Structure 1
Amino acid sequence: MDQEEKLNWDKLLKHIEGNYENDQDAEELNEEELELLLLAEETNMRLKEENPEHKFPVAAGWDELQARYKEKEQLKVVKLNRSKLYRTMAIAAILALVLAPAWWLFLKQNDAVKSSSKGSDEIHLTLANGETVELEASQANVLKSEGATLNGSTLIYQKETSLPKEEGAELQMNVLEVPNGKYTKLELSDGTLVWVNSGSKLSYPTVFSAAKREVMLEGEAYFDVSHNAARPFVVHLKSLNVKVLGTAFSISTFGNVIHTALERGKVSLETGNQSIYLLPGELGKYNKQEKQLSKTESDLRAYTAWKDSDIYFDNSTLEEIASRLQREYNLAFSFENDALKNLHFTIDMPKTQDVSKILNNIKFSSNQVNFMVDGNKVQVKQR
């Protein structure tokens, strides 16, 4: 069934304009039409709340949307009477939702809130000499001086050909900082792979010492450590050390609890006079306030899905979901009331560039919550 068969535009507009209430023969909306109706109602509510100067520019917006729609040959071009402003806005609102990303361009051209994916909020690398550069292809010569190359979005360090002979030699440290809304991967000189998530910082030497391999993490990262029994790999956190030989695990230091999720191998968690070992499938926890170590079996995908560009929550609170989306999409969430924070949702979907798809997934799975998006601000409201 093609898009034209799935969506009956006249029927949709009838529901939007409220003309179906006294029509006993009015057709019910199918799933696709109902979804667009809900989105269009939210759209029109936002349009009414906006300053008139910032409302949807119907004439220019419709011309652009109509042109794009014609190019995609999804529907026949509909000639509109622009004097019927409300009807035109309703159609434009529906089509804008179908034809994203034109939507944001015309909804609010003068939006003062700028996305962090633009400007100076890029991934930065601080070199051994203290110089800081953006992680991009134009810095190839600078990266080469550190023994590194950039392959797509992956930073790769030159492989060790032999161990350093001088144990006391000063290490050349690099610091990788990933802002909210970003994500990257690197390959260290020993072959260890590291995925570094949004809002995180990783410090590491360009070449490890002969005795051990040490890095420092703030935030969240996934490690696939190259096995070397003679040189333990240690991840230093502010209040905890994670020691491994060769294994795959994820660490998150966000919040009051440090989580270490072990997928393969064996690791030890050490702090003060406490230490525990983790086996595959186990989740290590360190409570920063109580200063206590513990472990449990857990669904590790909740802690590792981000590495595979998936969004996964299993019966998580909306507050927990918002906290992750806030980092990974550089958003600022606010809740109309605290009760909304405690709503529980399960989500399993590929990560997309458009966070509205995730928010709509949550919205349509419940009749309790709605989202109002303004730039990078998201207001969570009672529905």
Structure 2
Amino acid sequence: MESGVTKLFIELVQRQGRGDTLSPAELALLELGLSDPDCLDALNRHMEMELYSVESEDKSDPSISSIQSKDALAALMKKIEPTSISSAKDPQMDVQIDAHPHKPEQIIGRNDHKIFWRKWMAVAAVLLFGCAITTIWWQLNNKQPATQQLATNSEQYERVQPIVPGSSGAILTLGNGRKIALGSHHTGLLHIGSLTIQPGKDAAKLTNLEVAKSGEEVLYNTLTTPRGRQYQIELPDGTKVWLNASSSLKFPTIFNPQHRTVELSGEAYFEVVHNSSHPFQVKVKDQLIEDIGTKFNVKAYSDEPTVRTALVEGIIDVTNGIKKLRMKPGQGLKASANAMSIYNADLNQVLAWKSGFFAFRKAGVDEIMRQLSRWYDVDVVYSSSFHKTEGNNASFTGSIDRNLDLQDVLDGLQFSQVHFKIDKNKRTIIIEN
């Protein structure tokens, strides 16, 4: 079973659980997946990672009681059971399922009895739904093997199902190892020790009233955006950080009295609350960036040939251990190995991602594909016929909306020497001459 098929099956389960309206073809795929061992195994692993429970260490916070949970489960089971047989004779589907939204909690907590109860109630609901649909499928008496038909139907479905752009979302890993999913509609305050988290769909705010004590062990939190996600966070000192896709920001639970130091991998835009007696520093690879009242962008992906910093407002000092350069607004700094140089930056291009656009200036195929891969969560493969030297002679200058589907973006690029093909089952862009 190809991984693309199981990914599609899990996506359909999630959409059905949210109450989205599925087409007859989508319902057919969902039905077939529920009778396929590979899909069920993938779903089980996914639920282990993705079924979160709301838990607060502050016992005064409201929580879902066992009785409420049982009532919610009963209501959910009533909503998701099959209700009618469609009279429409779609060649791929003879069953219509009515479903209503179910929004699982979005916190990855510890496995205490509350989490265990709520998690397995959700699993039971999914399994009940699966059993109901599987029973109906067997009643259809389709003689074609489930795996074969699922793969065939998924290929037909993917011809019309676009690869959609990324969205807001991130995982916050606390110093104690606990993980919190951010980017849902959950907006209640979360209290973990001295840390208070106010999460939202696009941004979260952290507050911590404790002051670091001398000699006390420092724990670190890490905010991670996977491919296809971006997110904004306000740190306890008031500094705001926007994380682009496939990035991570590591920061201490409590800043020490000497400096506020964070570590970045990927790309982020910073609006720093300046404090001359408590400087803000960003570690990125072998560089240290220190603010002097600043708004700046740092791009430091591991697959990029250089680290680029662009200053929007204020002043920053950048050092690589050998030399130190001071930047002024409108300037960019490019660093590779032991070399650093300052140039005049196009800030509109640099910050386009934050405003919802791709912006390119004489960008080659490699540069463009790296950005598309991160935002659309796709892989990129160069066919054996593709000549990279010739292909990279092609360049693109312009801006494209990041809210477009992937195919629309590729249509807008239209290199004369390069052609793009999408394998949607494998979520892969194939580059050809």
TM-score tier after normalising by the smaller chain length: 0.5 to 0.7
Matches within 5 A, 1:1-383: 60=90, 108-109=156-157, 123-137=170-184, 143-145=190-192, 146-158=195-207, 164=211, 166-254=213-301, 255-288=304-337, 291-335=338-382, 336-338=386-388, 339-363=390-414, 366-375=415-424, 376-382=427-433
Instruction: Point out the more displaced range, 329-338 or 254-263.
Output: 329-338
The aligned amino acid for 2:182 is: L
**In 1, Cα distance between equivalents of 2:322 and 2:431:** 43
Cα offset, 1:209, TM superposition: 2.3
Answer whether contact 1:223 1:248 (CA < 8 A) is retained: yes
In 2, are the aligned partners of 1:201 and 1:219 still within 8 Å (CA)?
yes
What is the distance in 1 between the residues matched to 2:92 and 2:185? 39
Distance in 1, Cα, partners of 2:333 & 2:219: 31
Please give the root-mean-square deviation of Cα atoms over the aligned residues, in Å. Answer: 3.2
Alignment partner of 2:293: what SS?
coil
Secondary structure at 2:242's aligned position in 1? strand
Q: How far apart, CA to CA, are the structure 1 residues paired with 2:165 and 2:360?
A: 24
Q: After the TM superposition, which of the residue ranges 219-228 and 332-341 deviates more from structure 2? A: 332-341
SS of the residue corresponding to residue 209 of structure 1 reads: coil
- Cα deviation, 1:106-136, whole Å, max 9, x if unaligned, reads 863379xx98999xxx732211211223225
Closer/same/farther in 2, CA of residues 309 and 116 from structure 1, 3 Å limit: closer
**One-letter identity of the residue aligned with 1:129:** N
Q: CA deviation at 1:324?
A: 1.1
Higher RCO, Cα 8 Å, sep 6+: 2
Task: Give the gaps of 5 or more residues in structure 2.
Answer: 1-88, 94-152
TM-score (norm 2): 0.57
2:310, 2:350 within 8 Å by CA — same for their partners in 1?
Answer: yes
Specify whether residues 167 and 346 from structure 1 end up closer, same or farther in structure 2 by C-alpha distance, changes over 3 A only. same
Shift of 1:194: 0.3
Cα offset for 1:137?
4.4
Shift of 1:287: 0.6
Give yes or no for contact 2:364–2:393 (8 Å, CA) kept in 1. Answer: yes
Rate the CA distance shift 1:231–1:368 in 2: closer, same or farther, 3 A: same
Structure 1: how far apart are the matches of 2:224 and 2:281?
Answer: 19
Separation in 2, partners of 1:317, 1:61: 45
Equivalence for 2:14: none
CA distance in 2, matches of 1:380, 1:199: 22
Q: Can you give the 5+ residue segments of structure 1 that lack an aligned partner in the other structure? A: 1-58, 64-104
Q: 1:356, CA displacement in angstroms?
A: 1.6
For 1:353 and 1:245, the matched residues in 2 are separated by 37
CA contact (8 A) 2:281 2:291 kept: yes
- Give the match's secondary structure for 1:265: strand
Match in the other structure for 1:43: none
| Greater alpha carbon shift after TM alignment, 139-148 vs 266-275 | 139-148
Closer, same or farther in 2 for the Cα pair 1:321/1:61, shift >3 Å?
Answer: farther
Identity level (%): 27
